[in-house]
Amino acid sequence: MRDIKVLGTGCPKCLKLTENVSQALERAGLQGVTVEKVSDIKDIMKFGVMMTPALVVDGEVRVMGRVPGVDELVTILTERR
C-alpha cells in the first residue's frame, strides 16, 4: 500500500495536484489508496519542502513546487523505489 501525501496550504496549484493524484490513482487502477492532505506549514517543513505543492510517496518527496500531469503521476505512483 502506498503512503501518499499532498503538501500544500490550499492554494489553487495544491488543489490541482490533489485532483491530478486522484485521477492518476484511478487511471493506474490503484484502489484503496488514501491521499493525506498536509496543510500545516510546520508539518510541511519537516519534509524539507520550501515550495508547494509537493507530493510525498512512501516518505520520499517526489515532486516539489509544480503540478505534474496525470501521466507523469501514474509513473511516479506505480514505480517501486
pLDDT digits (tens, 9 = 90+) for 30-44: 988 889 999 999 999
Domains and CATH numbers, the chain: 4-78 (3.40.30.10)
pLDDT, residue 31, reads 86
User: Is the predicted pLDDT of residue 4 greater than 90, yes or no?
Assistant: yes
pLDDT, residue 81, reads 62
Task: Name the nearest CA neighbour of 53 among 65, 61, 44, 38.
Answer: 65
User: Is the predicted pLDDT of residue 20 greater than 80, yes or no?
Assistant: yes
Give catalytic residue positions. Answer: 11, 14
Would you give the distance in Å from CA 31 to the centre of its chain?
Answer: 16
pLDDT, residue 1, reads 67
Q: C-alpha dihedral over 72, 51, 55, 57, to 10 degrees?
A: 120
Residues 15-20 have a mean pLDDT of 98
**79 or 73, which is more confident:** 73
